[in-house]
Structure 1
Amino acid sequence: MSRPRLRHLALVVEDAAAAAHFYCETLQMEEFHQDPDGSRFVTDGYINLALIQRALDGDVPVGFNHFGFEVPDVASTAERLTGHGVAEPVLRGGDRPFAEYRATDPEGNWFDLSEHGFLPPDRRS
């Protein structure tokens, strides 16, 4: 891989289980991960789609949430980002098998950075 690749999209949904079922049944995606909060992750084998379960008391609206890039080197990518005036990417917490860092563009849109990609470990190339 010589340049970053868009490999991840995330939507906040009212019913993650129903949304995952829809994408699996209609577009032949495959569910590969479920978070304790009920969020589901599906893939077409190249890009994954996070279906983030909206919390009843949450203030995050339903709809588009963030996207993610697989990058060859987070440190050099972070250097290019900060060189363009945005904040340095921060390490994401949790035990997810993907998305090591969170960054923002100049408009404040969130995106993730990952050196090992967004697919399940057994599917990584």
Structure 2
Amino acid sequence: MTRPRLRHLAFVVRDAEQLASFYRDRLEMEIFHKDPDGSHFLTDGYLNLALIQQQLDGEASSGFNHFGFQVDDVETVSDRFADAGVPRPVQRPSDRPFAEYRAIDPEGNWFDLSEHGYLPPPA
């Protein structure tokens, strides 16, 4: 198995469209997806950046939200977590196509695990 790779960072932001334009225009990132709630997803060809549109009725304040690793086999990684006394990752809802599982580290930080990576699945 190859080493898990950090491939995804997510921030809750006040104006996802404006911030996505900044990263597109100033750092040449590509916008590859927009959610109906206004969230924008960008890539530099390797790392995916999720700009999650802050919602007034949401639970998350602006700032860092979670990160994600691409892994060869979620089950193998899940077994490692169980061996360390950390809860096994749980499957994400089907409307979240960029990562299949959500996990938590010993400090309570959220992170995602994906076997297919953080770009949208092929159509």
TM bucket (normalised to shorter chain) is over 0.9
CA distance in 1, matches of 2:94, 2:56: 21
Superposed CA deviations along residues 42-85 of structure 1, whole A, max 9, x for unmatched, are 00000000000000122311000000000000000000011111
CA distance in 2, matches of 1:68, 1:62: 18
SS of equivalent to 1:72? coil
After TM superposition, give the deviation of residue 20 of structure 1 in Å: 0.5
Residue 64 of structure 2 aligns with which residue? Answer: 64
After TM superposition, give the deviation of residue 4 of structure 1 in Å: 0.3
Query: Letter of the aligned partner of 2:78 in structure 1?
Result: A
Q: Which runs of 5+ in 1 are unaligned?
A: none
Task: Report the TM-score when normalising by structure 2.
Answer: 0.94
Residue 111 of structure 1 aligns with which residue? Answer: 111
Residue 92 of structure 1 aligns with which residue? Answer: 92
CA distance in 2, matches of 1:56, 1:94: 24
CA distance in 2, matches of 1:59, 1:38: 16
Count matched residues: 122
After TM superposition, give the deviation of residue 95 of structure 1 in Å: 2.6
Q: Give the 3 Å change call, closer, same or farther, for CA 57–96 of structure 1 in structure 2.
A: closer
SS of equivalent to 2:60? coil
CA distance in 2, matches of 1:26, 1:15: 16
Q: Which runs of 5+ in 2 are unaligned?
A: none
Superposition pairs of residues 32-43 of structure 1, within 5 angstroms = 32-43=32-43
Deviates most, 57-66 or 107-116: 57-66
Report if the CA contact (8 A) 1:46-1:119 is conserved: no
CA RMSD of aligned residues (A): 1.2
Task: Report the TM-score when normalising by structure 1.
Answer: 0.93
